[in-house]
Chain A
Amino acid sequence: MRAFTKIDALVAPLDRANVDTDAIIPKQFLKSIRRAGFGPFLFDEWRYLDHGEPDMDCTNRPINPDFVLNKPEYKGAELLLTRENFGCGSSREHAPWALEDFGFRAIIAPSFADIFYNNCFKNGILPIVLDAGIVDDLFNELTEGYRLTVDLETQKIVTPSGREIAFEVDANRKFRLLNGLDDIALTLQHADQIHAYETERAKRAPWLFG
């Protein structure tokens, strides 16, 4: 996994609440057995005017000029600013895969759906929860070329005017993301404890270990 330390990123605003994972990456793209290549289909139904299918060449598809990510001023945005409950619905990890493949490194919202939030950390994306009032401020002051600095180590965002905004993140998730660590290898360091748990549990619930 790609580590996340500090970024200075162009911000794209997606001013909608309850953006669901079906919208982030529609179901037909979930038929892929690969982990890469979802970026061109991110927000497919909002981004294009035709109906997308897996493995389609997107270069000549008709784009929706009104959709924010199609506007030239947001080209190359690495930070998505959005509203509450982002990533609700399906558990599909294809959603963070698509966001990451498109180029997003961090997402700011007043709240995230739990499964999506968790999935972001497995893919080098930092989801940042900020107070709804602060998110409002950021939407209001966003103009062309608006950038934010996000520093995971110090857990701070700096706005162009120099305002510093602190954010929370679990110590364990932060450590893994800062170092781009493989969760499975870390868990397997506890293999003896897992075996011990199984031995003890098998006495209480033998039907689970038959």
Chain B
Amino acid sequence: MSGKTLYDKLWEDHVVHTEDDGSSLIYIDRHLVHEVTSPQAFEGLRLAGRKPWRQARNLAVADHNVPTTDRDKGIADPVSRLQVETLEKNCAEFGITEFDMSDIRQGIVHVVGPEQGATLPGMTVVCGDSHTSTHGASGALAFGIGTSEVEHVLATQCLVQKKAKNMLIKVDGEVRPGVTAKDIVLAIIGKIGTAGGNGYTIEFAGSAIRALSMEGRMTVCNMAIEAGARAGLIGVDDVTIEYYRGRPLSPKGNDWFMAERMWQQLHSDPDAVFDKVVELNAADVKPQVTWGTSPELVVSVDASVPDPAQETDATKRESMKRALQYMDLKPGLAITDIKLDKVFIGSCTNSRIEDLRAAAVVAKGKKLADNIKLALVVPGSGLIKQQAEAEGLDKIFIEAGFEWRDPGCSMCLAMNADRLEPGERCASTSNRNFEGRQGYGGRTHLVSPAMAAAAAIAGHFVDVSTEANQGATA
């Protein structure tokens, strides 16, 4: 019998019951809650007279609607304010811990979870948010759910699921300087497409993945959903275990030793069989820039905007044409000739301390280009903000002309006041370049933090991996 994949192991460890058709009741160890996808779930509990199955397994934080400036003045938009207040009320009524806007631990739910040790290796983690895949970086089975499932987890601590297939994405070799986790994952999405991972759980492996910090691994798993996979995974190693040592909610004392032993088993067996294997050579990956309205519409920074006429598939050709029209780009334009209006550094993909450091190195001692109207740096949590300020990163950004903001989802999806105006073009470290995502009529190019900072300084895209720009990325 062949060995087990990490996904097989995590799945088997959480099965409570299996039906004849293979659908299973899966136990959920950690449920993260935010204000946007939970109000109707709490309302459902209330109407049915139900209580949370285990209050302590839930952790809530407001992130999507929160302002990133003038927090002391509250939330100006009454609709956003009501949603955030509703979360507070629901958490108080149902006995769920919430980090509110004034709490230093508040931040983007997928940044807060690992930072607090609220999401740990070996857990099943769910949240009413597709980027829950982020937590798979620690060897946890983590995936996004809808609001009906949020209610289901609250009421039963379980979900009815069918097991997905196993995909292995192996990235071996060494990346060139200036190439980051973001570039690796964008290159993967470019290769397999936004539907490539549908029906699969993706495990990322190989020497280039192993070489990443936990922050970088979270960036990779965060975007598994952009490749269509609900869950992304990376096996546990020393990097994982060291990351979790001493976190506020990590196991303590004897529990820690027990956990460590258990977590060390959290990797695929050498003879495990995957339904699909994709390989990528890290040395071939250059800094990536999306040019269209789907994350799969991505090229290397040294390339040009592709020509739909070269595409043989009719549906894809039409999508490309529509994307070019929306993005107001012409085939053949060099990516480095694309001029930007705004820059956004933040989101659950790239707002961790390492991301801010990478951007700060590029921005240090420089000034924003004249054509950049606004460049935002939005840390992923209050604690990251504090850490960055202790390192003096805030001063570097402010001196260069960036705005240094309070933590939240911000302009990744523009549910708060941070947004693009119609026609504005943005270099963004976020995860989705869909039409209107960052604001009605806005145009998004997805890039790494170093690439976003370099674009803010130059006013257009710059290849941070070339020799001429090397100083900027050392």
Task: Please list the residues of chain A having a beta carbon within 8 angstroms of any beta carbon in chain B.
Answer: 15-18, 20, 22-23, 26-28, 30-35, 45, 51, 54-55, 83-85, 88-93, 96, 111-115, 118-119, 122-123, 170-173, 183-184, 187-188, 190-191, 193-194, 197-198, 201, 204-208, 210
Contacts and interface: CB of A to CB of B under 8 A. Distances in A.
A197 B27 contact: yes
Contacts of A84: 195, 315
A186 B287 CA distance: 49
B415 A27 contact: yes
A188 B79 contact: no
B251 interface: yes
Contacts of B129: 90-91
A26 B432 CA distance: 13
Given A187-B25, A207-B255, A23 B434 contact: yes
The 6 closest A-B pairs by CB, nearest first: A207-B251, A93-B146, A122-B148, A33-B39, A171-B21, A119-B146
A114 B151 contact: no
Interface stretch (B2-10, B80-88, B344-352): B80-88
Interface in B294-329: 294, 296, 315-316, 318-319, 322
Contact of A187 (B65, B156, B315): B156
Size bracket of the B interface: 35 or more
Contact of A172 (B123, B160, B229, B316): B160
Given A35-B43, A91-B128, A187-B156, A45 B83 contact: no
B315 A83 contact: yes
A93 B37 contact: yes
A34 B19 CA distance: 33
A33 B86 contact: yes
A115 B37 CA distance: 14
B176 interface: no
Nearest to A196: B16
Contact of B194 (A34, A85, A114): A85
B65 A31 contact: yes
B144 to A, nearest CB: 4
A170 B21 contact: yes
Contacts of A111: 195, 198
A201 B80 CA distance: 40
Nearest to B87: A33
Nearest to B79: A31
Contacts of B25: 187, 190, 193-194
A184 B432 contact: no
B230 interface: yes
5 contacts: A30-B64, A90-B130, A172-B21, A184-B151, A205-B262
B259 interface: yes
B413 interface: yes
Given A23-B435, A113-B195, A172-B160, A31 B80 contact: yes
Contacts of B230: 114-115
B440 A45 contact: yes
Contacts of B315: 17, 83-84
Given A83-B315, A91-B146, 4 more contacts: A18-B319, A91-B132, A96-B146, A194-B25
Contacts of B132: 91
Contacts of A115: 130, 143-146, 230
Contact of A34 (B16, B40, B296): B40
Contacts of B48: 184
A194 B436 contact: no
Interface in B440-469: 440
B435 A193 contact: no
A17 B145 CA distance: 22
B123 A31 contact: no
B240 interface: no
B237 interface: no
Given A31-B65, A33-B82, A187-B158, A18 B194 contact: yes
A193 B437 contact: no
Interface string B27-43: 10100000011011001
Given A17-B316, A18-B294, A30 B36 contact: yes
B78 to A, nearest CB: 10
A89 B71 CA distance: 30
Nearest to A173: B23
B29 A208 contact: yes
Given A45-B435, A205-B122, A30 B415 contact: yes
B147 interface: yes
B410 interface: no
Contact of B259 (A32, A55, A207): A207
A26 B436 contact: yes
Nearest to B319: A17
Contacts of A92: 36-37, 146
Contacts of A191: 156
A187 B252 CA distance: 33
Contacts of A205: 122, 258-259, 262
B435 A206 contact: no
B269 to A, nearest CB: 19
Contact of A22 (B43, B64, B147, B435): B435
Contacts of B338: none
B193 to A, nearest CB: 8
B17 A88 contact: no
Contacts of A27: 413-415, 437
Contacts of A16: 318-319, 322
B50 A113 contact: no
B67 to A, nearest CB: 14
Nearest to A121: B148
A33 B83 contact: yes
B245 interface: no
Contacts of B319: 16-18
